[in-house]
Amino acid sequence: MRYGRTVPVTAEVELPQAPEGARAVFGEFFPEAVRYAELLADAGVKRGLIGPREVPRLWERHLLNCAVLSEVVPEGVTVCDVGSGAGLPGIPLALVRRDLKITLLEPLLRRTNFLQEVVELLGLDHVTVVRGRAEEVLGTLQPVHVVTARAVAPLDRLAGWGVPLLRPYGEMLALKGDTAEEEISGARAALSKLGVVDTEVLHVGEGVVEPMSTVVRVVVGESPGGVRFAAKRAKAARVSRTRRRR
């Protein structure tokens, strides 16, 4: 059985109705998930946030693929979704996990405008939209327990942006593809310099998405980002305090 209405996007592309499993995943917030899918298929395409070819597979490849990340996010933590784009994985995660406090971090204005509209329309009071790059908010954004990301960059570069935003002993959860193990192998030296103490590949969404979503979990020790980023974070915090006094 499918749920929701079919939304025309162009003469050739339509948003399919939600698969049966979507109602179980999103629970009481299933109507909000349907609305978000409709926004992606309409405004998201028109504003260039997603390609029209992604519309027929929005549910399986995007919304559900991201929502199942919730299986490995601890309860009641702070989350920063780096390079949030159209809100993936941050918005689906926010819909299924009201216990989280989520920041959607995105540098492009047209994307942050869309994200803010989505947050307000869906009533996501536990979500904040911040415009900026990870390296720009270092020291001004409160360190978080979890950083999430999807299709942003290769693991070594992604870790360079996301790991310094973590609290000590926090973790980065990156949705990746079939090359996850290879990316970890190629990034080991860079991850070590960033204070990473453990990495693993997880598979989530059994019975919901096929294939299951692949997640690279990167755990940091007491110095997220290593010594160099600890100094940058401290300097940025001092600058921020000075500005607030003025």
Beta strand pairing status for 78-82 and 144-150? parallel
pTM greater than 0.85 (yes/no): yes
* Alpha-carbon span 130 to 141, nearest angstrom: 9
* Alpha-carbon span 49 to 51, nearest angstrom: 7
Q: Is the pLDDT of residue 185 over 80?
A: yes
**Residue 10 — pLDDT band, cuts 50, 70, 90?**
very low
* Alpha-carbon span 150 to 177, nearest angstrom: 10
Contacts of 201 (CB under 8 A, 6+ apart): 176, 180, 181, 184, 214, 215, 216, 217
Q: What is the pLDDT of residues 227-243, one digit of tens each?
A: 666 666 666 666 656 66
Contacts of 17 (CB under 8 A, 6+ apart): 2, 3, 4, 5, 6
- Joined tokens for residue 196: 């990473």
Mean of pLDDT values over 92-118: 98
Q: Is the pLDDT of residue 108 over 80?
A: yes
Helix intervals (H) in the chain = 20-26, 30-39, 45-46, 64-67, 90-96, 109-122, 134-137, 155-162, 180-193, 226-245
Q: Is the pLDDT of residue 226 over 90?
A: no
Distance (Å) of CA 187 to CA 15, 112, 113, 148, 191: 38, 30, 34, 18, 6
Look at residue 139 in the predicted model and tell me its pLDDT: 84
**Residue 197 — pLDDT band, cuts 50, 70, 90?**
very high
User: Above pLDDT 90, what percent of the chain?
Assistant: 80
Look at residue 20 in the predicted model and tell me its pLDDT: 87
Q: Is the pLDDT of residue 12 over 70?
A: no
- Joined tokens for residue 241: 């305090």
**Residue 111, exposed/middle/buried by CB under 10 A (0-12, 13-18, 19+)?**
buried
Q: What is the pLDDT of residues 111-155, one digit of tens each?
A: 999 999 999 999 999 999 999 999 999 989 999 999 999 977 899
* Alpha-carbon span 164 to 82, nearest angstrom: 12
**Residue 109, exposed/middle/buried by CB under 10 A (0-12, 13-18, 19+)?**
exposed
* Alpha-carbon span 109 to 67, nearest angstrom: 25
Question: Is omega for the bond preceding 89 within 30 degrees of 0, making it cis?
Answer: yes
Look at residue 79 in the predicted model and tell me its pLDDT: 98
Dihedral of alpha carbons 95, 217, 198, 229, sign? negative
Look at residue 11 in the predicted model and tell me its pLDDT: 39
Look at residue 182 in the predicted model and tell me its pLDDT: 94
Dihedral of alpha carbons 114, 8, 211, 153, sign? negative
Q: Is the pLDDT of residue 106 over 50?
A: yes
Mean of pLDDT values over 3-11: 47
